[in-house]
A and B are shown apart, each in its own frame.
Chain A
Amino acid sequence: DAKTTQPNSMESNEEEPVHLPCNHSTISGTDYIHWYRQLPSQGPEYVIHGLTSNVNNRMASLAIAEDRKSSTLILHRATLRDAAVYYCILRDTGAGSYQLTFGKGTKLSVIP
């Protein structure tokens, strides 16, 4: 999978929006952008994914840059339960591999 770069940590105030950035300058045309998160003492949890267009679901929104070299996960209103490590992962449709390759992710702290 192509490499992604994320900040080590971010802070947000409760009930405010959070924008978690991810750089993936070497992304290929067949890479999907996936986001997972890992709450303390839990397994990773799927959040959202996209290819080119912005995506919304009940958990978050994903904004993808026009050149696809970066993306942003948006939590519209952070709650204490959103405190977690967030992972941005590229999945290559042509690689024939189904494994997820996790980096260090961004540790999000939510301040009450």
Chain B
Amino acid sequence: EPEVTQTPSHQVTQMGQEVILRCVPISNHLYFYWYRQILGQKVEFLVSFYNNEISEKSEIFDDQFSVERPDGSNFTLKIRSTKLEDSAMYFCASSETEATYNQPQHFGDGTRLSIL
């Protein structure tokens, strides 16, 4: 069964540094998402992306965050200047041709980001 893959599985970064988290969505999917989960807390939506532009973003997704689909397969989340509070598990997800209420989102296993 096709799956969403995320790399690296664990990223350790110094505060203030830039970090890029990478995701390879399922190949025929057109809608892409990032979520995060701080340890012991809920999974929170960050951003959705379709047709090379952001379609929706949460309050968490401020100017320090950006997303990109640099080629036909990768989807990346960049944090420009990391803060301690950015430490979390980051999940990438994708869904099929239409991001309707009926389409399940398929999640990767996440990247654990640790900010020192």
Chain A residues with a Cβ under 8 A of chain B: 32, 34, 38, 41-46, 49, 87, 91-93, 97-104
Residue pair A43, B101 in contact (C-beta under 8 Å):
no
- Please list the 7 inter-chain residue pairs (A to B) with the smallest Cβ-Cβ separation, ordered nearest first: A43-B107, A46-B104, A99-B45, A102-B43, A98-B99, A91-B101, A93-B101
A residues near B99, Cβ cutoff 8 Å: 98
Is B102 in contact with chain A by the CB < 8 A criterion? yes
CB-CB nearest in chain A for B31: A98
CA distance A18 to B6 in the complex (A): 32
Residue pair A100, B101 in contact (C-beta under 8 Å):
no
Is B64 in contact with chain A by the CB < 8 A criterion? no
CA distance A32 to B33 in the complex (A): 20
Is B106 in contact with chain A by the CB < 8 A criterion? yes
Chain B residues with a Cβ under 8 A of chain A: 4, 31, 33, 35, 42-45, 48, 55-56, 58, 91, 93, 95, 99-102, 104-110
Interface centre among B58, B101, B104 (most CB of A within 10 A): B101
CA distance A103 to B37 in the complex (A): 12
Residue pair B107, A45 in contact (C-beta under 8 Å):
yes
CB-CB nearest in chain B for A92: B101
A residues near B101, Cβ cutoff 8 Å: 32, 91-93, 98
Residue pair A102, B42 in contact (C-beta under 8 Å):
yes
Given contacts A49-B102, A49-B104, contact A104 B42 (CB under 8 A): yes
Interface centre among B45, B99, B104 (most CB of A within 10 A): B104
CA distance A102 to B93 in the complex (A): 14
Partner of B93 from the list A42, A43, A97 (CB cut-off 8 Å) is: A43
Q: Is the interface of A mostly helix, strand, loop or mixed?
A: loop
B residues near A41, Cβ cutoff 8 Å: 109
CA distance A91 to B103 in the complex (A): 10
Q: List 11 A-B contacts (CB under 8 A).
A: A43-B91, A43-B110, A44-B107, A91-B101, A98-B48, A98-B55, A98-B95, A98-B99, A99-B58, A100-B45, A102-B44
